[in-house]
Structure 1
Amino acid sequence: MPATTNSSATPASTSRHQRRREKTRARLIDAARTLVAERGVDAVGLSDITEAADLGVGTFYNYFQSRDEIVEAVAEASIESLGARMDLMTAGMDDAAEIFSSSLRHLVRHAISDPLWGWFVVRLGVAHPKLIDILGPRAARDLRQGVDAGRFTIADVDMTTACVFGALLSTLHYVISAPVQDGIDEVFAQAMLCMVGVTPGEARDIAARPLPELSDVPSTR
């Protein structure tokens, strides 16, 4: 006698269930991202997130253990993906100064094109460990590469990383708070290149180079 199968556990039903879970999780993340961008982390409570997502608190706990955990998930979704795309873009570049410049320019441009993302990063702030964990090592890596190649003159890479980080957040706040001139990303990159020891004339030339497009990172799923 052939064995009976449980239709509720078929691949199709499992796939539908997974898609529903992904959509629900995305609703929570989108709500948290919007609220943090509008108010800042400290002004957003768990109930605010569930209300904005139109979901119950019980549903929230099916996906996240706390408000801090969902904020970290939003940071991963919003910032790590961009960082990975910039890594892919710069992988074939030889000039450390161009790598540094291109990454900074893309961050500024992304904030201008997606102000919600910009406000999220600004209001997450330099004090949030997840933001530092994602962007900090990349900035330090690029700076050390420039020092090793003799392109940058830096006395302390960690201190310089902190300076770049603070300048980036201030610049993102500036560009999303009011209309800005065309090429503001180049102006920022030029200033940061000068800060790490590139001469003003060369910094201007590097910052004005055609900016490579970002490619999507291949899915591992």
Structure 2
Amino acid sequence: MNYIVNPNGVIPAPHPVESIILDDGVPRPEPVETAKPARRKVRTAPRTSRLNPVQLARRVEVGEQRRAKSRSKLMQAAYRLFAVHGAEAPTIDDVIAEAKVARGTFYNHFKSRDELFRAVGNDVSFAINSVISGAIDEMEDPIERIILAFRLFIRFAVSDAARGWILLRTMPLAGPLNAGAKEFIAAEFEAAFGTGRLREMPMAVAIDMGLGMQIMTIHRVLVEKVGNDHIDLAAGEMAVALGLDPAEARTLASIPIEEDDARAAAAQAYSFPVEKG
């Protein structure tokens, strides 16, 4: 048994202690901490769903439909805002307000404003390129195909101002925007160089020249309201810059385009409906 010494005598300690001596020479007890009993962890069985496989599949399907709908609302809102503001690209707050969704919904789909713009631009570009590929499929001369594709792309782009401004915003960020368009352009330029009528240069340089001329021509048409003659002139000079004989370039760039067909194709060059409000 342990004992405690104090001025009144020696008494038993109520529990194990260690004595300490202070400056007055009188020992003082120091309680020894005892270990606390460990708490038992109560394990609960994982909650299982009461839905059968068909119900679970339906829930997933509904969730995907809602996600697709909210993404479409954001893209349509961006499109409408470009139609109203043109070169003044909308902010994320503008898009959220126009789409009538929460900020969290925006970030569930897009990491940034530019990512949203690229998605809309990719959608528009894919639709336009689909129309163009059908228009040039039967042409045998790859250089003639490139020149006509250049002219049609710009005409379709500027036939709707919102479409033109979206492409102006996104093409400098991502070039032709989608993988299909990149493959299409690369194949056409490779075939064109194979004719021996263009001067030798790296493929990337040739593509950059063509896309750069497209971007600047779209901008000039939207801002200065120049007509199709300017588009055709730009197409011819682009071909000359690639090394084509000037006379041949200007002849190919002036081949008439059926305006009725062009307008009909342009009207189809929307990949999603733009709802009002």
Class of the TM-score when normalised by the shorter of the 2 chains: 0.7 to 0.9
Select 1:89's aligned residue among 125, 132, 135: 135
How far has the Cα of 1:99 moved from its partner?
Answer: 0.6
After TM superposition, the structure 1 stretch with the greater mean CA deviation from structure 2, 208-217 or 134-143, is 208-217
CA contact (8 A) 2:190 2:203 kept: yes
Task: Name the aligned partner's letter for residue 87 of structure 1.
Answer: S
Distance of 2:130 and 2:199 partners within structure 1: 27
Q: What is the CA distance between 1:85 and its match in structure 2?
A: 2.4
Read off the aligned partner of 1:30 and give its amino acid letter: Q
Find the counterpart in structure 1 of residue 17 from structure 2: none
Cα 1:114–1:170 shift into 2, 3 Å: same
**CA 1:195/1:18 → structure 2, altered by over 3 Å: closer, same or farther?**
same
1:141 alignment counterpart:
187
Cα shift at 1:32: 2.2
Compute the TM-score of the two structures, normalised by the length of structure 1: 0.75
TM-score by length of 2: 0.62
Structure 2: segments with no counterpart, 5+ residues: 1-51, 272-277
Which residue number in structure 2 is paired with residue 39 of structure 1?
88
What's 1:30 paired with? 76
| Residue of structure 2 equivalent to 1:172 | 218
Distance 1:102 1:16 in 2: 44
- Which SS does the other structure have where 1:39 is aligned? coil
Please give the secondary structure, in 2, of the residue aligned with 1:164: helix
Highest CA radius of gyration, 1 or 2?
Answer: 2
The code of the aligned residue for 2:106 comes to F
Q: 1:16 to 1:97 in 2, by over 3 A?
A: same
Cα separation, partners in 2 of 1:18 and 1:211, compared to 1, 3 Å: farther
Q: Do the aligned partners of residues 99 and 69 (structure 1) sit closer, same or farther apart at CA in structure 2, a change above 3 Å counting?
A: same
Higher strand proportion (structure 1 or 2): 2
Q: Percent identity?
A: 25
81-90 or 15-24, larger mean C-alpha shift: 15-24
User: Is residue 171–residue 177 contact of structure 2 (8 Å, CA) maintained in 1?
Assistant: no
Return closer, same or farther for 1:70/1:181 CA change in 2, 3 Å cut-off.
Answer: closer
Q: SS at the partner of 2:124?
A: helix
SS, match of residue 175 in structure 2: helix
Count of aligned pairs? 208
Aligned 1:117-156 pairs, distance under 5 A: 117-126=163-172, 128=173, 130-134=174-178, 135-156=181-202
Aligned counterpart, 1:191: 237
SS at match of 1:71: helix
Q: 2:151 aligns with which of 79, 85, 105?
A: 105
Query: Aligned with 1:183: secondary structure?
Result: helix
For residues 123 and 62 of structure 1, the distance between their equivalents in structure 2, rounded to whole angstroms, comes to 22
Structure 1: gaps (5+ residues): none
Q: Partner of 2:132: helix, strand, or coil?
A: helix
Contact 1:111 1:175 in 2 (8 A): no
